[in-house]
Chain A
Amino acid sequence: MFTKKKLLRFALVAALFLAVDAGIFSSLSGEFSKLMEASQTKEIRLFAQTAPVKAELLGDWMASVQTVLPGCEALYLSVDDAGKFVVGPGSGGLKALYQQNLSLPEFVKALDSVYYLEPYTTTGPYSVEVSGAAPLSGRVSFAPIADDTGAGVRGALVILSASTVAADFQGLLWGLALIALLLFLVIYSVVSFARDRVMGFAIVGLFAVVGVFVAYPMFESVRLTFWKGGQWTLETWATVLSPRYLVALWGSVQLGLWTATISTLLGFAFAFLVERTSVGGKKFISNLATLPVISPPFSLTLSIILLFGNNGLITKGLLGLHGFSIYGLNGLVIVQTISMFPIAFMTLSSVLKAIDSTVEDAALDLRATRWYTFRTITLPLAMPGILSAWLLVFTNSLADFANPLLLSGSYRVLSTEAYMAVTGQNDLGGGAALSILLLLPTLTAFMAQRYWVSRRSFVTVTGKPSMRLTELASPAVRVALTIFVGLCIVLIIALYATIVAGCFVRNWGIDYTFTLDNFGEALTRGWRAITDTVTLAALATPIAGVLAMIASLVVVRKVFVGKRLLEALIMTPFAIPGTLLGISYILAFNKPPLILVGTAAIIVINYIVRELPVGLENGSASLRQIDPAIEEAAQDLGADTPTVFRTIVLPLIRPAFISTMSYTFVRSMTAVSAIIFLISANWYHLTVQIYNFSELLRFGWASVLATALIVIVFVAFGLMRLLVPDEGHTDKSFAR
C-alpha cells in the first residue's frame, strides 16, 4: 500500500525513467531528422540537376516537383547577366516568402553559397502568411543548377519542405515514447503498490484488453462519423439522416416490431405448452425449439429460399406460382421469427416455471374460471418476462445481418445498408454512422427494460418451482396448442431437412436429379474456409474461456477503482450490433500503432471480445454461488493467486468455464456480422463462403457447407461435453 517511502521511491524511479525515455526519444528523433535532411538534400540536389535549359519547359518541370518531392513548395531562380538571382516560375507563397526575407543575412549567405554551386539549407524555419490558405512554414533549401560547363551557375531551385512524412514519423516516435512511459508507469506502480501483484496485473491486463479492443475502436468509429477529409464535419450525419437512410431505419424498426411480436407469441405458446400443461415429449419439444439458436446463419434463409424462393420447391414446383416473391419484409419476418423465437421461448419458460402454481390454485379455489385465472393471475405475473422476451428479440432482430443480407430484396434495413456503404461505396464513416444509428432503438429498448420492466418484476427468483401444477388449459385448448406447436416443429424439421436435401440435388428448382457432385465442388472450393474457420474458432475458444473466468474472479471478488467501468467495457460488445464492431475494427486497426487488418489476430480478437460478456455473466453467476471462504482458506494455507485460481476457482466454476468455451466456439463458427468486414485473402470464413455461394445461386454448394457447419457445431458441442464431463459439484457451498 501507499507509504511515504514507497511514493518517494516511485516518484524517483518514474522521474529517472522519464529522463531516459526522453533522452532516447530526442536522440532517435535527432538522428532521424538528420537522416531525413540528408536524404532530402540529396533528392533536391539530384532534382535540380534535371532542370531543363529551355525557359519554356521550366513551367512543366516545376509542376513535376510535386511528384518527386511531395508536399514541397518549389521556386525557380534564374541568374541574370549581372549574376543576380531573379525570381522565376514556382509557388506563389514561396515567392512571397523569398522576397520578404531576401535581405536577411542568412538568405544572402544562402544565395552566395548557391552561386558557388554549394547547396544550402536554412537552420531555422521561415514562414509567410498566404491569403486564403494556411500559412507556409518550414526550412528553406537552396539547390544550385549548374550551367553546361558545370563550373558556373545558371539558376537555383528553392524548396520549402513541409516534411509531412517526417512529422508523421516524429508523431509515431512520440507516441511510442509515450506508450513506453505509460507502460512503465503502470507496471511499476502495480509492482510497488499492489499487494497482490498477480491480481494487479490481471486487472491492468483486462483494462488493456478492453481499452484497446473495445473502447479504442468504438471511439475511432464515432470520431470518424464526424471527420471527413481532415476536418470536423457533420456531413456524414447529414447523409445518414437523409430520407434515403431513414427509410432503412424505419425498415429495421418495422421488421423488429413484427418479428418481436410474433416470436413472443410463438415463444409463449411453446413455453406454456412445455411448462404449464401435461403434454408428453416436453424434452423433445424444448430441444427442437432451441435448435435454431445454435444453427448457423444463412442456413434457415437458405432453406426458405429453396422452398419459397423464385425457383422454390413449394412456390414453383408444387404451386406453380410465378409472381410470388419471398424476398422482402414477409420473408424476413418468417425467417427471423423461426431463428429468434427460441430466445423468447427460453426466457418465457423460465418465467413460467418460476410462477408458483399455488397462486393459480388460490384463484381457482375462489371459484375463478380457468380462463379468468389465466387472464388475471398468470398473464400479469408473466408480463415482465413477456416484455423482456419481446425486447430481447427486438434488439436481436435489429442487429440481425445475415438474414437480411440474403433475403431483403428491395426491402432496406440498416445493418445491410451499413455493409453496403462500407463494401460498395468504401464509405467507412457512413457505415459506422449507420451502425450507430442502429444502436438507437437498441439502446431505447435496453433503457426501457432497465427502468420499466425491472421495476415491475413480480416473480421472485427465490421460490422453488412448485412440485405439482394445476392445468389451466382446458383439454380443447391443449389439443389446439399441441397441434399448433406440432406444426411449427414440423416446419423447423422440414427446413433443416431441406438444407440436407439441397446437398443432393443437381440444380434446385430446375433439375432435381440426385447427385453427389455438390460435395466435391463445395468441399474443394470451401475447404480453405472450413479449415480457417475451425482454426480461428479453436484458437479463440480457450483464450475467451480463461479470460472470461479471470474477469469473473476479478469482478466478483476484488474491489478496485474503476470496476464498474471495466465491467461496462467488457459488456459493451454484447449490446452493440456486430456490424458496428466489425466496422470499428477496420477503422481502428488499419493504421499505426496497431495494424491488424488482414491478420488472423483481428478475427480471433473479435471472437474473444464478442463472447467475453456471456463468459463473464456465466462465470460471475457461478462464482457468486461459491463461499469466498473457500478461496480464502486456500490462500490462508499458502496458495498464491495463480494457484488459488488453478486449484480452487477453476475446478469449482468448471461448468461455467465449459459452457463459455463451447458457446464461444459455436458462436465463432457461426459469426457473420462483424467477421464479414474482417476476413481477408489470408483468412476466410465459412459463413461468408456460404453467403457467396448463395449469391452465385449455387444453392447445392451452399447447402453442403451449411450442413458441414451444422455437423461441426454439433460435434464440437458433443465433444466438449464428453471430454470434460460436468460433475456438478458447484452447488456445494457449505453451511450458511
Chain B
Amino acid sequence: MPKTSVSVTLVGVTKRFKNTKGRDDVIAVSGSDFTVAPGELVTLLGPSGCGKTTTLRMIAGFELPTTGKILIGTEDVSQLPPNARDKATVFQSYGLFPHMNVFDNVAYGLRLRKVPAAEIQTKVEATLKLVGLQDLADRSPGRLSGGQQQRVALARSLIVEPAVLLLDEPLSNLDALLREQMRVEIRRIQKTLGITAIYVTHDRVEAMSLSDRIIVMKDGVIQQIGTPSDIYENPATTFVAGFVGKVAFFPVTVTAVAGGWDCQLGGKNLRVTQGAAGVPAAGSAVLMSRPESLRLLSPGQGSVEGTVRMNVYLGHSVETFVDTPFGEVMVQVDDPASKAAFAEGSAVSIGFEPERVRLLP
C-alpha cells in the first residue's frame, strides 16, 4: 500500500520543556541522533519518563524540537505542523472518534484528502479486511472490545498510506493474551506493507519480538542502538543489560591482556574476551552474565561459592536463587528434569561460560 518506504532521520534533536513554576527546565530528549531505514521497524525502548514518547511526538509534529532536525525521507519536517507531515500515528489511547462508526473513523483521512466516495468504499473495506474487522463497519467504537478498537486505530492510520507509521505504546491497554496476538498482527501487517515504522514501548518482550532494531533510552539520552540480539547479548551499559533482560552482575578488578581481560573475582582469576567500550585497561569493572548462561556446580568447582536459598519451578526451567558474597544471584536451569537439582540450603558453586560473559564499565 505505501508509495515507497522512506527513512526517518533525527539529527541532534533535543527537547527542553520550560518549567513555569520557577524550577529548572526539564530536558526530555537530549541530542538524539539516529536513522530508521526504509521499511524498518524500530522500537524506542525505555522506562517511563525516558523521552521515548516525546521523541515520537516530535516526529509526529505534536511537539517541536528545541534544537536539531527531523527528516522524513529527505524533507526537513522539524517545524511543520502535524497535518503537513507524511506519517500516521496510532495513539496509546487510540483516539477513536466516538461520534463516528468504524467505517467513518477509518474513512476520515480519505475524506480529508477528497477521495471519491466509491474509492473510499473499496479502500475502507480492504483495510478493514486487513485488520480483520470487515464485519464491524457499522459499529460505534464504544461498542468494540479493546483489541478491536486497537485494530480500528491501526486501520485508520494505514489507510492514508503514510510514509511512516508511528505507534505510541499501542498495546499497553490490552490484556496479556491479546497483546501477544496484536504484536504478531502488527508485525505481519508492517512486513506485508513494507512500511517504515517507529514503535514506542516500555515492554522489553514487545520490543524484542517486534523490532528490526531497538533504541534503548534513559533520561532522554540514547543508551544503545542495535538489533534485539545485539542489545540482549552485547549490552553497552549495565542499564541496558538490566533493562532488556534478567542479569547477574559481579564487581571485578580487570587488567587488559591480549585478546581480552584478566578479571579478579573474589580471589579467583577469570579470562574474559568480550567487553563493552569504556572498560578500563586496569581498574574496576562489572562482569555480567545472563541467568541462562550460568551453571550450577558442586561446591568448589565454579567461580563463585554460595548457598541455594530458593528454587522456583517454572516447568521449562527452574530459577535457583543463590546467596553469594556478591549478593543474591539467580541462575536459570533449563530443562530441569535432565539435570541434578540442588536442594534449598545446600552449598553450591556458580560457574561461567567464558564466551557468554561480558565486561561492562
Contact of A733 with B by CB under 8 A: yes
With contact pairs A633-B89, A633-B91, A735-B173 given, residues A640 and B83 touching in the complex (Cβ less than 8 Å)? yes
The reply to whether B160 and A648 contact each other, CB–CB distance below 8 Å, is: no
Could you tell me the distance in whole angstroms from the C-beta of A218 to the nearest C-beta in chain B? 27
Could you tell me the distance in whole angstroms from the C-beta of A735 to the nearest C-beta in chain B? 5
Could you tell me the distance in whole angstroms from the C-beta of B336 to the nearest C-beta in chain A? 40
Query: Which of A30-38, A82-90, A457-465, A624-632 contacts the other chain?
Result: A624-632
Q: Which of A1, A195, A629, A637 has a CB less than 8 Å from the CB of B160?
A: A637
Contact of A233 with B by CB under 8 A: no
- Which residues in A have their C-beta under 8 angstroms from that of B160? 637-638
With contact pairs A1-B64, A735-B173 given, residues A643 and B112 touching in the complex (Cβ less than 8 Å)? yes
Contact of B325 with A by CB under 8 A: no
- Which residues in A have their C-beta under 8 angstroms from that of B87? 636
When C-beta atoms are compared, the residue in chain B nearest to A626 turns out to be: B98
Contact string against A for B residues 129-161, beta-carbon threshold 8 Å, 1 for contact and 0 otherwise: 000000000001110001001000100110010
Q: Which of A627, A633, A639, A736 has a CB less than 8 Å from the CB of B156?
A: A633
Could you tell me the distance in whole angstroms from the C-beta of A628 to the nearest C-beta in chain B? 8
Q: Which of B64, B98, B109 has a CB less than 8 Å from the CB of A637?
A: B109
When C-beta atoms are compared, the residue in chain A nearest to B150 turns out to be: A735
The reply to whether B99 and A636 contact each other, CB–CB distance below 8 Å, is: no
- Inter-chain CA distance A732–B105, complex, in Å, is 15
Contact string against A for B residues 79-119, beta-carbon threshold 8 Å, 1 for contact and 0 otherwise: 10111000111011111111100000000110011000000
The reply to whether B95 and A633 contact each other, CB–CB distance below 8 Å, is: yes
Could you tell me the distance in whole angstroms from the C-beta of A725 to the nearest C-beta in chain B? 13
Q: Which of A630, A732, A736 has a CB less than 8 Å from the CB of B95?
A: A630
The reply to whether B99 and A651 contact each other, CB–CB distance below 8 Å, is: yes
The reply to whether A734 and B83 contact each other, CB–CB distance below 8 Å, is: no
With contact pairs A729-B142, A732-B141, A732-B142 given, residues A633 and B98 touching in the complex (Cβ less than 8 Å)? no
When C-beta atoms are compared, the residue in chain B nearest to A654 turns out to be: B99
Could you tell me the distance in whole angstroms from the C-beta of A191 to the nearest C-beta in chain B? 14
Which residues A629-686 have CB closer than 8 A to chain B?
629-640, 643, 647-648, 651-652
Which residues A401-443 have CB closer than 8 A to chain B?
none
Contact of A695 with B by CB under 8 A: no
Q: Which of A196, A632, A727 has a CB less than 8 Å from the CB of B89?
A: A632
Q: Which of A1, A632, A634 has a CB less than 8 Å from the CB of B108?
A: A634
- Which residues in B have their C-beta under 8 angstroms from that of A639? 83, 108, 112
Could you tell me the distance in whole angstroms from the C-beta of B290 to the nearest C-beta in chain A? 35
- Which residues in A have their C-beta under 8 angstroms from that of B98? 630, 652, 729-730, 732-734
- Inter-chain CA distance A636–B62, complex, in Å, is 9
- Which residues in B have their C-beta under 8 angstroms from that of A634? 95, 97, 108
Contact of B128 with A by CB under 8 A: no
- Inter-chain CA distance A638–B156, complex, in Å, is 12
The reply to whether A627 and B83 contact each other, CB–CB distance below 8 Å, is: no
Contact of B60 with A by CB under 8 A: yes
Choose among B83, B95, B153 the residue with the greatest number of A CB atoms under 10 Å from its CB: B95
Could you count the A-B residue pairs with CB atoms below 8 Å apart for me: how many are there?
94
Could you tell me the distance in whole angstroms from the C-beta of A91 to the nearest C-beta in chain B? 62
Could you tell me the distance in whole angstroms from the C-beta of A511 to the nearest C-beta in chain B? 59
- Which residues in A have their C-beta under 8 angstroms from that of B141? 732, 734
Could you tell me the distance in whole angstroms from the C-beta of B144 to the nearest C-beta in chain A? 9
When C-beta atoms are compared, the residue in chain A nearest to B99 turns out to be: A651
- Inter-chain CA distance A629–B91, complex, in Å, is 7
Could you tell me the distance in whole angstroms from the C-beta of B148 to the nearest C-beta in chain A? 11
The reply to whether B83 and A630 contact each other, CB–CB distance below 8 Å, is: no
- Inter-chain CA distance A652–B96, complex, in Å, is 12
The reply to whether A196 and B95 contact each other, CB–CB distance below 8 Å, is: no
The reply to whether A736 and B93 contact each other, CB–CB distance below 8 Å, is: yes
Q: Which of B97, B113, B149, B173 has a CB less than 8 Å from the CB of A630?
A: B97
- Inter-chain CA distance A249–B79, complex, in Å, is 58
- Inter-chain CA distance A727–B142, complex, in Å, is 14
The reply to whether B97 and A629 contact each other, CB–CB distance below 8 Å, is: no
- Which residues in B have their C-beta under 8 angstroms from that of A196? 81
The reply to whether B83 and A633 contact each other, CB–CB distance below 8 Å, is: no
- Inter-chain CA distance A635–B108, complex, in Å, is 11
- Inter-chain CA distance A269–B81, complex, in Å, is 56
- Which residues in A have their C-beta under 8 angstroms from that of B149? 734-735
When C-beta atoms are compared, the residue in chain A nearest to B89 turns out to be: A636
The reply to whether B93 and A627 contact each other, CB–CB distance below 8 Å, is: yes
Q: Is chain A's interface secondary structure helix, strand, loop, or mixed overall? A: loop
- Which residues in B have their C-beta under 8 angstroms from that of A1? 64, 79
Could you tell me the distance in whole angstroms from the C-beta of A549 to the nearest C-beta in chain B? 15
The reply to whether B94 and A635 contact each other, CB–CB distance below 8 Å, is: no
Contact string against A for B residues 245-257, beta-carbon threshold 8 Å, 1 for contact and 0 otherwise: 0000000000000
- Inter-chain CA distance A634–B79, complex, in Å, is 19
Which residues A184-203 have CB closer than 8 A to chain B?
195-196
- Which residues in B have their C-beta under 8 angstroms from that of A729? 98-99, 140, 142
- Which residues in A have their C-beta under 8 angstroms from that of B64? 1, 195
Which residues A1-59 have CB closer than 8 A to chain B?
1
Could you tell me the distance in whole angstroms from the C-beta of A648 to the nearest C-beta in chain B? 6
- Inter-chain CA distance A636–B165, complex, in Å, is 11
The reply to whether B88 and A629 contact each other, CB–CB distance below 8 Å, is: no
Choose among B64, B98, B109, B149 the residue with the greatest number of A CB atoms under 10 Å from its CB: B98
When C-beta atoms are compared, the residue in chain A nearest to B98 turns out to be: A732
Q: Which of B95, B113, B146 has a CB less than 8 Å from the CB of A632?
A: B95
Q: Which of B60, B113, B146 has a CB less than 8 Å from the CB of A638?
A: B113
The reply to whether B109 and A734 contact each other, CB–CB distance below 8 Å, is: no
- Which residues in A have their C-beta under 8 angstroms from that of B95? 627, 629-634, 734
- Inter-chain CA distance A630–B95, complex, in Å, is 4
Could you tell me the distance in whole angstroms from the C-beta of A67 to the nearest C-beta in chain B? 63
When C-beta atoms are compared, the residue in chain A nearest to B149 turns out to be: A734
The reply to whether B142 and A638 contact each other, CB–CB distance below 8 Å, is: no
- Which residues in A have their C-beta under 8 angstroms from that of B153? 633
Could you tell me the distance in whole angstroms from the C-beta of A722 to the nearest C-beta in chain B? 20
When C-beta atoms are compared, the residue in chain A nearest to B78 turns out to be: A1
With contact pairs A637-B108, A732-B98 given, residues A195 and B91 touching in the complex (Cβ less than 8 Å)? no
Could you tell me the distance in whole angstroms from the C-beta of A1 to the nearest C-beta in chain B? 6
- Inter-chain CA distance A184–B149, complex, in Å, is 47
Q: Which of A629, A638, A643, A730 has a CB less than 8 Å from the CB of B92?
A: A629
- Which residues in B have their C-beta under 8 angstroms from that of A632? 62, 82, 89, 91, 95
With contact pairs A734-B96, A734-B141 given, residues A636 and B79 touching in the complex (Cβ less than 8 Å)? no
- Inter-chain CA distance A632–B97, complex, in Å, is 11
Could you tell me the distance in whole angstroms from the C-beta of B176 to the nearest C-beta in chain A? 16
- Which residues in B have their C-beta under 8 angstroms from that of A627? 93, 95
When C-beta atoms are compared, the residue in chain A nearest to B62 turns out to be: A632
- Inter-chain CA distance A730–B99, complex, in Å, is 8
Could you tell me the distance in whole angstroms from the C-beta of A197 to the nearest C-beta in chain B? 9
Which residues A444-471 have CB closer than 8 A to chain B?
none
- Which residues in A have their C-beta under 8 angstroms from that of B112? 637-639, 643
- Which residues in B have their C-beta under 8 angstroms from that of A635? 62, 81-83
Which residues B152-188 have CB closer than 8 A to chain A?
153, 156-157, 160, 173
Could you tell me the distance in whole angstroms from the C-beta of A567 to the nearest C-beta in chain B? 15
Could you tell me the distance in whole angstroms from the C-beta of B60 to the nearest C-beta in chain A? 6
- Which residues in B have their C-beta under 8 angstroms from that of A636? 60, 82-83, 87-89, 157
With contact pairs A195-B81, A637-B156, A732-B141 given, residues A652 and B91 touching in the complex (Cβ less than 8 Å)? no
- Inter-chain CA distance A627–B92, complex, in Å, is 11
Choose among A647, A729, A734 the residue with the greatest number of B CB atoms under 10 Å from its CB: A734
- Which residues in A have their C-beta under 8 angstroms from that of B140? 729
The reply to whether A734 and B79 contact each other, CB–CB distance below 8 Å, is: no
Known: A633-B91, A647-B108, A734-B94. 13 other contacts (CB 8 A): A1-B79, A630-B98, A636-B60, A637-B112, A637-B160, A638-B112, A638-B160, A733-B93, A734-B95, A734-B96, A734-B141, A735-B146, A736-B93
The contact sample of 6 A-B pairs, CB cut-off 8 A, is A633-B97, A635-B83, A638-B160, A640-B83, A648-B97, A652-B99
Tell me the A residues contacting B by CB distance below 8 Å: 1, 195-196, 627, 629-640, 643, 647-648, 651-652, 727, 729-730, 732-736
Task: In the A-B complex, list the 5 residue pairs whose CB atoms are closest, starting with the nearest.
Answer: A629-B95, A633-B95, A637-B109, A732-B98, A629-B91
